[in-house]
Amino acid sequence: MLELYIGNKCFSSWSLRPWLVLKHHEIPFTEIFIRLRQPDTPAQILEVSPSGRLPVLHHDGRRIWDTLAILEYLAELYPEKKLWPDDRTARAIARSVSAEMHSGFMEVRSQWGMNLRRRKAHKPLSEAGRKQAARIEQIWRECRAEYGAGGSFLFGSFTAADAMYAPVATRFDTYGGELAAATRAYVDAILAMPAMKVWYAGAAAETYPEPGPDE
């Protein structure tokens, strides 16, 4: 049995990524929650994750603690789920844009923190943040145009690349104000996923005060 350790659904963007893949593809797993921002949080996470960070996946005595590594592990465990595109070029692009999200866009991620209880309202980004947001929109637009035929996602059907960008889609929805049509369509496709609705419901059910509605 797969065991996925995650943090608060309201704001744990990295936890969302592998959770969404597992839930969307109906892969059985046990969800284990560790509340973030508590005095004992670091110690709790270190008990299950060598990096001291979430998410972490446990399976058959193994611990996989990096989000992209978790997604690659799941792709190998369940090749029939097609977590990456079949076409070699599309697969390379999907991995490239996933890695770009994994290591980049720091200004967007810090200035537009994922907070699913925050009221939707436009929040201007710094100049660096605006450039990064424009790059994200470019990725979405170009992947959809080149590889998105046959579905609503970046490569048509839902892949690991969409999971990597799903938390950012929530940020565009919360902070982005009026979005370009192509951006709005992709954000809406992510938010309409049944698995995303389950995640949002879980976030809404959390009784913890963190993060605050204006954070």
Question: H/E/C letters for each residue in 120-158?
Answer: CCCCCCCHHHHHHHHHHHHHHHHHHHHHCCCCCECEEEC
Burial of residue 33 (number of CB atoms within 10 Å: 0-12, 13-18, 19+): middle
Q: What is the pLDDT of residue 101?
A: 98
Quick one: fold of 88-194? Answer: Glutathione S-transferase Yfyf (Class Pi); Chain A, domain 2 (1.20.1050)
| pLDDT under 70: residue ranges of the chain | none
Q: Where in the chain is the domain with CATH 1.20.1050.10?
A: 88-194
Q: What is the pLDDT of residue 170?
A: 98
Q: Where in the chain is the domain with CATH 3.40.30.10?
A: 2-81+198-205
Asked if residue 58 lies in contact with residue 5, where contact means CB atoms within 8 angstroms, the answer is yes
Q: What is the pLDDT of residue 215?
A: 86
Asked if residue 44 lies in contact with residue 7, where contact means CB atoms within 8 angstroms, the answer is no
Separation CA 85–CA 188 (nearest Å): 22
pLDDT digits 0-9 by tens, 24-41: 999 999 999 999 999 999
Residues linked to residue 33 through DSSP beta bridges, in sequence order: 6
pTM of the model: 0.97
Q: What is the pLDDT of residue 79?
A: 98
Q: What is the pLDDT of residue 214?
A: 85
Q: Which string of DSSP letters, residue by residue, matches the chain?
A: -EEEEE--TTT-HHHHHHHHHHHHTT--EEEEE--SSSTTHHHHHHHH-TTS-S-EEEETTEEE-SHHHHHHHHHHH-GGG-SS-SSHHHHHHHHHHHHHHHH--HHHHHHS---TTSPP---PPPHHHHHHHHHHHHHHHHHHHHH-TTSSBTBBB--HHHHHHHHHHHHHHHH--SPPHHHHHHHHHHHTSHHHHHHHHHHHH----PSPTT-
CATH number listed for the domain at residues 2-81+198-205: 3.40.30.10
Separation CA 161–CA 97 (nearest Å): 7
Q: What is the pLDDT of residue 37?
A: 96
